[in-house]
A and B are shown apart, each in its own frame.
Chain A
Amino acid sequence: MPDQIEPITPREISVNDVPFAQVEQNGPKGFFDQLKGFWVTFATMFKKVNTVQYPEVKEPTAERFHGRHQLNRHEDGLEKCIGCELCAWACPADAILVEGDNNTEENRMSPGERYGKVYQINYLRCIFCGLCIEACPTRALTMTNEYELADETREKLIFEKGDLLAPLTQGMLMPPHPMYPGMDDSNYYRGEVKGSHPSQDINK
């Protein structure tokens, strides 16, 4: 037999017994104080407007603005993407589709074993959160400052690998091509490859 349960007593303290602070209301301001507002709006008419005439005038975005994605390349033109799908897994909006494939000696797109064969980002789903960029182990995926992404059809807003790949710059060669002689994939990831494969250099 358990001890006698203490009978429930009505609560002794109710919300209304708690002292509450009386907010002092100073009442309305004087007549001339109230007229100050009219001066504010009148004076604002002669201030410089904040509006940017957008399509004609474009202001630069913040330096680290999250815009359209870009798939980067190594210095010799090989793709950085290794088709690991970590970006797709990280994506909270399920906007990224990656299909990897094996690199072969005849068809080498990236250093190492694998490359991204199919790479799609659906900009109808993307929320530009940047989690994919954080997930990427090779810095293959980054974001640009480009924000003009509106288009007319749904199809046009699914960007393929070709739309996302960074352009070739000076010294880069269009893959597929072999890795730099004497370098392996870990050299590539450390950024030790500074130029294209000597056999591919047309200037030689």
Chain B
Amino acid sequence: MKSTAELIGADPGWIILVKAALVFIVCVVLTIMSVWGERRIVARMQQRVGPNRVGKFGLIQALADGVKLALKEDLIPAAADKVVFILAPIISATTCFMAFAVIPMTGEVSLFGQTTAMQLTDIPVGVLYVLAIASVGVYGIVLAGWASGSTYPLLGGLRSSAQVISYEIAMGLSLVTVFIYSGSMSTSDIVAAQGKWWYAVVLFPSFVIYCIAMVGETNRAPFDLAEAEGELVGGFHTEYSSLKFALFFLAEYVNIIAVSALATTLFLGGYHALPGLGFTESWLGGWFTLIWFFLKVLFFFFIFVWLRGTLPRLRYDQFMQFGWKVLIPVSILWILVVATLRVLSMQGASRFVIMGFAVGLVIIIMAINILFENAKNKKKNSPVAESAKPSFAVPELPFNVSSINVSQKGGDHA
């Protein structure tokens, strides 16, 4: 059996064009259906029905909304930087589609008599390419906020970019362990390397970190601070209307699908069937793997919707603290552990050494935890914190800070 790279490499030009068109169509159709699906599912979570008027079960609601948006007046604020204002949604919308180019959606299939795989291209640094494209997508948000010539969009754009950049670090770090284990950055190789065990099982901490980071990365609830309606109106797209707004909307949903597809590829075995159902992969001439792929993507999409239906929005400082002080250190430590284990096993260390390493690690983690708890209790019970409390009423500070330095000279409030 040939590798995916070899299969795709033999594609004639017209097959590549067909595949590019298919990727685009899949993204757009999936977006339209996911907007509908999200509204229906969130509605059910709130004991409502959701859109059910346009078409059967309201299926073409998103299409109708798109038509409505296209027919609306396209406003450009007088204070806006026109060129950048128009460019921003285009950047956002194009980059989100590009990430899909390296996602393997099926195994070996026959398309119009050609044996190929449903993956537009397979580059040796495919995952890095996806991360790079996601970073370029941030430009769309920043430029939209800046070019609007308005306060709320600017704040929203800044928040958004700070957020995406912060969580991209955690996301990138969570992927490093996958690279270490699979020995490749090519998406198809990573899928092939998961033949026996999914990385979601082997590298569970990485999987959890990636799942959290991908929600932060896509500006979705509970990390949707960039468009916190109560604070920032609509965030970076406040001043956008008509088709330009539709492009941002499209980009948001394609992004969700893209990060879900990447999660599927890197952690859930890509297009392969669930364990024990491998015999289904040859049904429909390999096209059945497409169904497995989309089932997994839709599973992630459901998680997105579930999060949105359940969790309240985080406060900005908590959000940043979580990203920088929890996710990033934890993923760095996890990389160290995985790298050490990997080197040990590659150098043929005995099982005894590996077990010893693992046990030692657990002991160290427990010791750190005990020390941390002790320090916390000490701080709680210390009388110093009590005396340092100011004599006048002050609101509680964030992060449970129990003592603050207050100038005693300025304390005369009589």
Contacts and interface: CB of A to CB of B under 8 A. Distances in A.
Interface residues of B, number: 19
Interface of A: 10-11, 14-16, 20, 23, 25, 27, 37-38, 40-42, 44-45, 47-51, 53
Contact of B414 (A10, A25, A47): A10
B46 A14 contact: no
A44 B311 contact: no
Question: Would you call the interface of chain A mostly helix, strand, loop, or mixed?
Answer: loop
Contacts of A27: 400
Given A14-B414, A49-B47, A41 B310 contact: yes
Given A11-B414, A20-B393, 13 more contacts: A15-B393, A16-B392, A16-B393, A16-B413, A23-B396, A37-B311, A38-B306, A38-B310, A40-B310, A42-B306, A45-B41, A49-B43, A51-B49
A14 to B, nearest CB: 5
A16 B47 CA distance: 47
13 contacts: A16-B391, A16-B392, A37-B310, A41-B310, A42-B45, A42-B306, A44-B45, A44-B46, A45-B41, A49-B49, A50-B47, A51-B47, A51-B49
B294 to A, nearest CB: 21
A14 B48 contact: no
B47 A41 contact: no
Question: Would you call the interface of chain B mostly helix, strand, loop, or mixed?
Answer: loop
A154 B275 CA distance: 67
Contacts of A53: 49
Contacts of B41: 45
Nearest to A34: B311
Closest 6 CB pairs of A and B: A16-B392, A41-B45, A45-B44, A51-B49, A41-B310, A41-B309
A15 B413 CA distance: 9
B44 A44 contact: yes
Contacts of B393: 15-16, 20
A41 B391 CA distance: 45
Nearest to B390: A16
A25 B43 CA distance: 34
A10 B413 CA distance: 11
Contacts of A48: 47
A25 B309 contact: no
